């Protein structure tokens, strides 16, 4: 069997239709969207067209969309930009202990600049309590940042409830939604959110292009200076191929939402059924919520093994999985997400993330379960 890729939460293969769009742009369109000649006007039309397409599918106005280089820049721009623009109102920020490091490291930097940050705990499923958010509010709270779905265990957070609480109190609300586009229905006009981060390479788009939704009227100080691109919110020549590819990926993800959800649930169900059949339900633990989750992410621990050993053995069997965030998977440190969930030591030390997507099949899930059984038998000996 060909290699099996089960690390779609880290990055996804580019959809063939997206690749066609990107290829055409790279060959045929090379003007600068800020230039006034014919080539520049053509480039501007492409960028604006991509912006209109994305805004239409996500339910926001085109001028509420800012192109960035990816999810990390979108998170940084939202947090730094909102905090700096609101510093005269207060210097307290609320987030959770399980955020992506693009948020956590940004918060640590803001602390160095004089802000105070409350890092909320989560329960054993990785879900934050709305009551904890409310209890953490202070007179000088200016920003709350909570991810939509966790990138390691897939747990979906109570975003609407937190957003409504923030809106009632006049507090800005940022959401990292990198893992939910194409997995959960979304209409930004209906969500009580001020900033929302996205990236293309999680939805079968090109790497190096992302976006930040900025609600009209929400304050945002620019972090990147130079030209007046993106209405002065993010300087730099726009990527024509990236923007057009991202727009196509968003179209495919949103139009194919029901099918993507159904397939992800089917693959998840098949893998779990096969694990039950081959190793028994008592030999593994599912980490995360059984009620609130994105189906494409399945975090499983195999007590009695070690994460790095299991990953190495899976890789030898040509199966690509992960221990957590791609940004930290090069290190052997235990996941900060699983630590925050206060899981038992043997569960912490043996967690594997399987994340599915374009190209995966039921036959692959059966093969993976078979190989897990073989590896566990080999390790026991």
Catalytic residues: 327
- Between CA 368 and CA 373 the distance in angstroms is 9
First vs last C-alpha separation in the chain: 26
User: Is there a contact between 223 and 80 (Cβ–Cβ < 8 Å)?
Assistant: yes
CB burial of 169-205 (b: ≥16 within 10 Å; e: otherwise) equals eebbbbbbbbbbbbbbebebeebbbbbbbbbbbbbbb
DSSP state of 7: B
User: Is there a contact between 309 and 318 (Cβ–Cβ < 8 Å)?
Assistant: no
- Between CA 2 and CA 6 the distance in angstroms is 13
Q: 292: part of which helix (H) or strand (E)?
A: none
Give whole-number Cα distances, 219 to 139, 160, 172, in Å.
19, 21, 9
Per the listing, tokens 């098949």 go with 270
Neighbouring CB atoms inside 10 A of 24's CB total 13
What region does 216 belong to: left with phi over 0, alpha with psi -120 to 50, or beta?
Answer: beta
Query: Furthest-apart CA pair in the chain: how many Å?
Result: 71
What region does 314 belong to: left with phi over 0, alpha with psi -120 to 50, or beta?
Answer: alpha
Closest CA to 64 of 72, 55, 75: 55
Give whole-number Cα distances, 248 to 7, 19, 260, 265, in Å.
22, 9, 16, 24
């Amino acid at each position: 069997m060909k290699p099996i890729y089960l690390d779609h939460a880290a990055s996804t293969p580019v959809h063939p239709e997206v690749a066609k769009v990107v290829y055409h742009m790279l060959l045929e369109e090379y003007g600068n969207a800020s230039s006034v000649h014919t080539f520049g006007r053509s480039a501007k039309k492409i960028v604006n067209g991509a912006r209109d397409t994305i805004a239409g599918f996500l339910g926001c106005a085109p001028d509420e969309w800012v192109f960035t280089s990816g999810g990390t820049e979108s998170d940084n721009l939202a947090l730094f930009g909102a905090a700096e623009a609101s510093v005269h109102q207060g210097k307290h920020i609320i987030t959770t202990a399980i955020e992506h490091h693009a948020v956590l490291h940004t918060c640590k930097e803001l602390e160095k600049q004089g802000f105070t940050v409350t890092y909320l705990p989560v329960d054993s499923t990785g879900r934050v309590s709305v009551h904890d958010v409310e209890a953490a509010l202070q007179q000088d709270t200016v920003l709350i940042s909570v991810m939509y779905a966790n990138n390691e265990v897939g747990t979906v957070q109570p975003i609407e409830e937190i957003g409504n609480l923030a809106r009632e109190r006049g507090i800005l609300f940022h959401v990292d939604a990198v893992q939910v586009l194409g997995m959960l229905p979304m209409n930004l006009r209906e969500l009580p959110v001020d900033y929302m981060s996205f990236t293309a390479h999680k939805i079968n788009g090109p790497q190096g292009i992302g976006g930040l939704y900025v609600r009209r009227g929400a304050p945002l100080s620019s972090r990147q200076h130079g030209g007046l691109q993106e209405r002065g919110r993010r300087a730099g020549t726009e990527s024509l191929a990236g923007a057009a590819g991202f727009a196509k990926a968003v179209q495919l993800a949103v139009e194919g939402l029901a099918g993507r959800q159904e397939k992800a649930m089917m693959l998840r169900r098949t893998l779990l059924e096969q694990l039950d059949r081959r190793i028994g339900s008592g030999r593994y633990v599912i980490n995360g919520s059984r009620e609130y989750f994105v189906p494409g992410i399945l975090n499983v621990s195999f007590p009695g093994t070690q994460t790095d050993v299991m990953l190495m053995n899976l890789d030898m069997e040509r199966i690509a999985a992960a221990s957590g965030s791609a940004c930290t998977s090069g290190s052997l440190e235990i996941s900060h997400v699983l630590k925050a969930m206060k899981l038992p030591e043997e569960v912490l030390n043996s967690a594997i993330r399987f994340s599915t997507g374009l190209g995966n099949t039921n036959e692959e899930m059966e093969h993976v379960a078979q190989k897990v059984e073989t590896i566990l038998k080999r390790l026991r000996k």
